[in-house]
Amino acid sequence: MLTFTQNCIVVAAVVVASLLFMAALNRIWPREKRRTHNDLIGWQLSVLGTTYAVIMGFMLYAVWTAFGEATLNADLESNSLVNVYHLADSLPEPQRTQLQGLALSYAGGVINEDWPQMARGHVPEKSVEINKEMWRAVMAVRAASPTEQTAEDHVLSELVALSQHRMTRLMQSTYRLPKVLWCVLLVGGILTIVSSCMFGSESTNLHALQVFSFSLLISLCLAAITDIHRPFQGLIHVSDYAFRRAQQNMQAR
Protein backbone atom coordinates (compact mmCIF):
# COMPACT_ATOMS: atom_id res chain seq x y z
CA MET A 1 0.00 0.00 0.00
CA LEU A 2 1.12 3.55 -0.76
CA THR A 3 1.99 6.07 1.93
CA PHE A 4 0.57 9.60 1.99
CA THR A 5 3.72 10.96 0.36
CA GLN A 6 3.63 8.30 -2.35
CA ASN A 7 -0.03 9.06 -3.04
CA CYS A 8 0.80 12.74 -3.43
CA ILE A 9 3.64 11.88 -5.82
CA VAL A 10 1.37 9.67 -7.94
CA VAL A 11 -1.34 12.35 -8.12
CA ALA A 12 1.23 15.00 -9.04
CA ALA A 13 2.75 12.72 -11.68
CA VAL A 14 -0.65 12.12 -13.31
CA VAL A 15 -1.39 15.86 -13.40
CA VAL A 16 2.03 16.74 -14.84
CA ALA A 17 1.84 13.93 -17.41
CA SER A 18 -1.59 15.17 -18.52
CA LEU A 19 -0.36 18.75 -18.96
CA LEU A 20 2.73 17.54 -20.85
CA PHE A 21 0.52 15.45 -23.13
CA MET A 22 -1.63 18.52 -23.81
CA ALA A 23 1.46 20.58 -24.63
CA ALA A 24 2.81 17.87 -26.93
CA LEU A 25 -0.56 17.55 -28.66
CA ASN A 26 -0.66 21.31 -29.27
CA ARG A 27 2.64 20.99 -31.11
CA ILE A 28 1.66 17.96 -33.16
CA TRP A 29 -1.95 19.01 -33.81
CA PRO A 30 -2.30 22.78 -33.39
CA ARG A 31 -5.31 24.18 -31.53
CA GLU A 32 -6.48 26.10 -34.59
CA LYS A 33 -6.93 22.89 -36.57
CA ARG A 34 -8.65 21.09 -33.71
CA ARG A 35 -11.10 23.93 -33.17
CA THR A 36 -13.13 22.88 -36.21
CA HIS A 37 -13.76 19.53 -34.50
CA ASN A 38 -14.83 20.95 -31.16
CA ASP A 39 -18.44 19.90 -31.61
CA LEU A 40 -17.45 16.26 -32.05
CA ILE A 41 -14.76 16.39 -29.36
CA GLY A 42 -17.10 18.16 -26.94
CA TRP A 43 -19.82 15.54 -27.49
CA GLN A 44 -17.27 12.77 -26.99
CA LEU A 45 -15.95 14.39 -23.81
CA SER A 46 -19.48 14.86 -22.49
CA VAL A 47 -20.40 11.20 -23.03
CA LEU A 48 -17.09 9.87 -21.69
CA GLY A 49 -17.08 12.22 -18.73
CA THR A 50 -20.65 11.39 -17.72
CA THR A 51 -20.14 7.65 -18.11
CA TYR A 52 -16.87 7.71 -16.19
CA ALA A 53 -18.38 9.88 -13.45
CA VAL A 54 -21.13 7.31 -12.92
CA ILE A 55 -18.59 4.46 -12.80
CA MET A 56 -16.31 6.38 -10.43
CA GLY A 57 -19.19 7.35 -8.15
CA PHE A 58 -20.43 3.78 -8.00
CA MET A 59 -16.97 2.44 -7.18
CA LEU A 60 -16.41 5.02 -4.44
CA TYR A 61 -19.79 4.16 -2.95
CA ALA A 62 -19.07 0.42 -3.16
CA VAL A 63 -15.65 0.57 -1.47
CA TRP A 64 -16.85 2.98 1.21
CA THR A 65 -19.85 0.74 1.93
CA ALA A 66 -17.53 -2.27 2.23
CA PHE A 67 -15.31 -0.25 4.58
CA GLY A 68 -18.32 0.63 6.74
CA GLU A 69 -19.42 -3.00 6.84
CA ALA A 70 -15.94 -4.06 7.97
CA THR A 71 -16.01 -1.45 10.75
CA LEU A 72 -19.46 -2.56 11.90
CA ASN A 73 -18.45 -6.22 11.81
CA ALA A 74 -15.41 -5.52 14.01
CA ASP A 75 -17.67 -3.74 16.51
CA LEU A 76 -20.10 -6.66 16.55
CA GLU A 77 -17.26 -9.15 17.03
CA SER A 78 -15.90 -7.22 20.01
CA ASN A 79 -19.41 -6.93 21.51
CA SER A 80 -19.91 -10.70 21.23
CA LEU A 81 -16.54 -11.21 22.95
CA VAL A 82 -17.55 -8.98 25.87
CA ASN A 83 -20.87 -10.80 26.15
CA VAL A 84 -19.10 -14.15 26.32
CA TYR A 85 -16.86 -12.81 29.08
CA HIS A 86 -19.75 -11.53 31.21
CA LEU A 87 -22.03 -14.51 30.62
CA ALA A 88 -19.22 -16.81 31.78
CA ASP A 89 -19.82 -15.46 35.31
CA SER A 90 -22.78 -17.83 35.61
CA LEU A 91 -20.89 -20.92 34.43
CA PRO A 92 -19.41 -23.48 36.83
CA GLU A 93 -15.71 -23.73 37.53
CA PRO A 94 -13.22 -24.37 35.99
CA GLN A 95 -14.89 -23.32 32.72
CA ARG A 96 -15.76 -19.87 34.11
CA THR A 97 -12.16 -18.86 34.76
CA GLN A 98 -10.91 -20.63 31.66
CA LEU A 99 -13.41 -18.95 29.33
CA GLN A 100 -12.85 -15.48 30.77
CA GLY A 101 -9.10 -15.91 30.47
CA LEU A 102 -9.53 -16.98 26.85
CA ALA A 103 -11.73 -13.96 26.14
CA LEU A 104 -8.99 -11.66 27.41
CA SER A 105 -6.40 -13.56 25.38
CA TYR A 106 -8.64 -13.27 22.31
CA ALA A 107 -8.81 -9.47 22.63
CA GLY A 108 -5.05 -9.24 23.16
CA GLY A 109 -4.36 -11.57 20.24
CA VAL A 110 -6.58 -9.58 17.88
CA ILE A 111 -4.94 -6.28 18.88
CA ASN A 112 -1.32 -7.42 18.97
CA GLU A 113 -1.25 -10.06 16.23
CA ASP A 114 -4.34 -10.13 14.03
CA TRP A 115 -4.42 -6.41 13.20
CA PRO A 116 -0.70 -6.11 12.31
CA GLN A 117 -0.92 -9.27 10.20
CA MET A 118 -4.01 -8.01 8.34
CA ALA A 119 -2.24 -4.68 7.76
CA ARG A 120 0.52 -6.64 5.99
CA GLY A 121 -2.02 -8.55 3.90
CA HIS A 122 -1.67 -11.84 5.80
CA VAL A 123 -4.46 -14.03 7.14
CA PRO A 124 -4.23 -14.00 10.97
CA GLU A 125 -4.16 -17.25 12.91
CA LYS A 126 -4.03 -16.22 16.58
CA SER A 127 -7.75 -15.58 17.08
CA VAL A 128 -8.58 -18.78 15.20
CA GLU A 129 -6.72 -20.93 17.72
CA ILE A 130 -8.15 -19.11 20.73
CA ASN A 131 -11.64 -19.41 19.29
CA LYS A 132 -11.21 -23.17 19.07
CA GLU A 133 -10.14 -23.31 22.72
CA MET A 134 -13.19 -21.26 23.68
CA TRP A 135 -15.44 -23.77 21.97
CA ARG A 136 -13.75 -26.66 23.76
CA ALA A 137 -14.17 -24.90 27.10
CA VAL A 138 -17.89 -24.26 26.55
CA MET A 139 -18.57 -27.79 25.32
CA ALA A 140 -16.95 -29.14 28.50
CA VAL A 141 -19.49 -27.34 30.73
CA ARG A 142 -21.73 -29.62 32.80
CA ALA A 143 -24.56 -27.41 34.00
CA ALA A 144 -25.84 -28.36 37.45
CA SER A 145 -28.68 -25.82 37.70
CA PRO A 146 -31.21 -24.04 35.46
CA THR A 147 -29.19 -20.81 35.81
CA GLU A 148 -26.04 -22.49 34.58
CA GLN A 149 -27.95 -24.15 31.75
CA THR A 150 -29.40 -20.80 30.64
CA ALA A 151 -25.96 -19.18 30.84
CA GLU A 152 -24.45 -21.97 28.79
CA ASP A 153 -27.10 -21.54 26.08
CA HIS A 154 -26.47 -17.79 25.92
CA VAL A 155 -22.71 -18.29 25.83
CA LEU A 156 -23.08 -20.72 22.94
CA SER A 157 -25.24 -18.22 21.08
CA GLU A 158 -22.70 -15.44 21.56
CA LEU A 159 -19.83 -17.77 20.66
CA VAL A 160 -21.58 -18.64 17.40
CA ALA A 161 -21.94 -14.91 16.65
CA LEU A 162 -18.29 -14.32 17.59
CA SER A 163 -17.13 -17.07 15.22
CA GLN A 164 -19.28 -15.74 12.39
CA HIS A 165 -17.99 -12.19 12.79
CA ARG A 166 -14.40 -13.47 12.98
CA MET A 167 -14.80 -15.39 9.73
CA THR A 168 -16.35 -12.34 8.09
CA ARG A 169 -13.41 -10.22 9.26
CA LEU A 170 -10.91 -12.68 7.82
CA MET A 171 -12.75 -12.66 4.48
CA GLN A 172 -12.90 -8.86 4.45
CA SER A 173 -9.17 -8.66 5.17
CA THR A 174 -8.44 -10.55 1.94
CA TYR A 175 -10.95 -8.64 -0.20
CA ARG A 176 -9.59 -7.06 -3.38
CA LEU A 177 -11.22 -5.22 -6.25
CA PRO A 178 -11.26 -7.48 -9.32
CA LYS A 179 -8.61 -6.63 -11.91
CA VAL A 180 -11.27 -6.07 -14.57
CA LEU A 181 -12.73 -3.22 -12.50
CA TRP A 182 -9.30 -1.64 -12.11
CA CYS A 183 -8.91 -1.92 -15.88
CA VAL A 184 -12.22 -0.11 -16.39
CA LEU A 185 -11.24 2.65 -13.96
CA LEU A 186 -7.77 3.19 -15.44
CA VAL A 187 -8.81 3.03 -19.10
CA GLY A 188 -11.80 5.27 -18.45
CA GLY A 189 -9.62 7.82 -16.68
CA ILE A 190 -7.06 7.85 -19.48
CA LEU A 191 -9.72 8.26 -22.18
CA THR A 192 -11.40 11.09 -20.29
CA ILE A 193 -8.14 12.99 -19.78
CA VAL A 194 -7.07 12.46 -23.40
CA SER A 195 -10.44 13.73 -24.64
CA SER A 196 -10.09 16.87 -22.53
CA CYS A 197 -6.61 17.44 -24.00
CA MET A 198 -7.98 17.21 -27.55
CA PHE A 199 -10.38 20.11 -27.11
CA GLY A 200 -9.35 23.10 -29.26
CA SER A 201 -9.64 26.04 -26.89
CA GLU A 202 -8.75 29.59 -27.87
CA SER A 203 -7.14 30.16 -24.46
CA THR A 204 -4.19 27.94 -23.63
CA ASN A 205 -4.40 28.85 -19.95
CA LEU A 206 -8.10 28.01 -19.74
CA HIS A 207 -7.49 24.70 -21.52
CA ALA A 208 -4.60 23.88 -19.18
CA LEU A 209 -6.86 24.63 -16.20
CA GLN A 210 -9.48 22.26 -17.59
CA VAL A 211 -6.95 19.45 -18.09
CA PHE A 212 -5.46 20.13 -14.65
CA SER A 213 -8.89 19.89 -13.01
CA PHE A 214 -9.86 16.66 -14.80
CA SER A 215 -6.56 14.91 -14.11
CA LEU A 216 -6.44 16.06 -10.47
CA LEU A 217 -9.99 14.93 -9.71
CA ILE A 218 -9.59 11.57 -11.46
CA SER A 219 -6.25 10.80 -9.81
CA LEU A 220 -7.58 11.79 -6.37
CA CYS A 221 -10.61 9.52 -6.79
CA LEU A 222 -8.42 6.62 -7.89
CA ALA A 223 -6.08 7.19 -4.94
CA ALA A 224 -9.08 7.20 -2.59
CA ILE A 225 -10.40 3.94 -4.03
CA THR A 226 -6.93 2.39 -3.73
CA ASP A 227 -6.70 3.29 -0.04
CA ILE A 228 -10.26 2.35 0.94
CA HIS A 229 -10.86 -0.87 -0.98
CA ARG A 230 -8.66 -2.85 1.45
CA PRO A 231 -10.43 -2.21 4.79
CA PHE A 232 -7.56 -3.34 7.02
CA GLN A 233 -4.61 -1.93 5.06
CA GLY A 234 -3.32 1.43 3.91
CA LEU A 235 -3.72 4.96 5.19
CA ILE A 236 -7.46 4.60 5.79
CA HIS A 237 -8.16 1.34 7.60
CA VAL A 238 -10.51 -0.13 10.17
CA SER A 239 -9.26 0.66 13.66
CA ASP A 240 -8.80 -1.91 16.42
CA TYR A 241 -10.41 0.54 18.86
CA ALA A 242 -13.45 -1.72 19.36
CA PHE A 243 -11.24 -4.51 20.73
CA ARG A 244 -9.20 -2.12 22.87
CA ARG A 245 -12.45 -0.88 24.34
CA ALA A 246 -13.60 -4.45 24.90
CA GLN A 247 -10.29 -5.32 26.54
CA GLN A 248 -10.61 -2.37 28.92
CA ASN A 249 -14.21 -3.37 29.68
CA MET A 250 -13.20 -6.89 30.63
CA GLN A 251 -10.11 -5.86 32.61
CA ALA A 252 -12.15 -3.35 34.61
CA ARG A 253 -13.92 -6.22 36.37
What pLDDT, on the 0 to 100 scale, is given for residue 142? Answer: 85
Per the rule left: phi > 0, alpha: psi between -120 and 50, beta: everything else, 199 is: beta
| Cα dihedral 188/189/193/198 (nearest 10) | -10
Residue 1 has pLDDT above 70, yes or no: no
What pLDDT, on the 0 to 100 scale, is given for residue 253? Answer: 63
The pLDDT confidence band at residue 37, using thresholds 50, 70 and 90, is confident
Closest CA to 80 of 98, 113, 101, 106: 106
| ω into 116 cis (within 30 of 0) | no
**Is the separation of the CB atoms in 103 and 89 below 8 Å?**
no
The pLDDT confidence band at residue 124, using thresholds 50, 70 and 90, is confident
Average pLDDT of 70-88?
A: 94
Residue 118 has pLDDT above 70, yes or no: yes
Residue 235 has pLDDT above 90, yes or no: no
The whole-chain average pLDDT of the chain stands at: 89
Closest CA to 108 of 133, 79, 130: 130
Average pLDDT of 82-93?
A: 90
The pLDDT confidence band at residue 206, using thresholds 50, 70 and 90, is confident
What pLDDT, on the 0 to 100 scale, is given for residue 98? Answer: 93
The pLDDT confidence band at residue 47, using thresholds 50, 70 and 90, is confident
What pLDDT, on the 0 to 100 scale, is given for residue 207? Answer: 87
Most confident of 31-45, 68-82, 221-235: 68-82
Residue 77 has pLDDT above 80, yes or no: yes
Q: Provide the residue ranges of all domains of the chain, joining segments of one domain with +.
A: 4-251
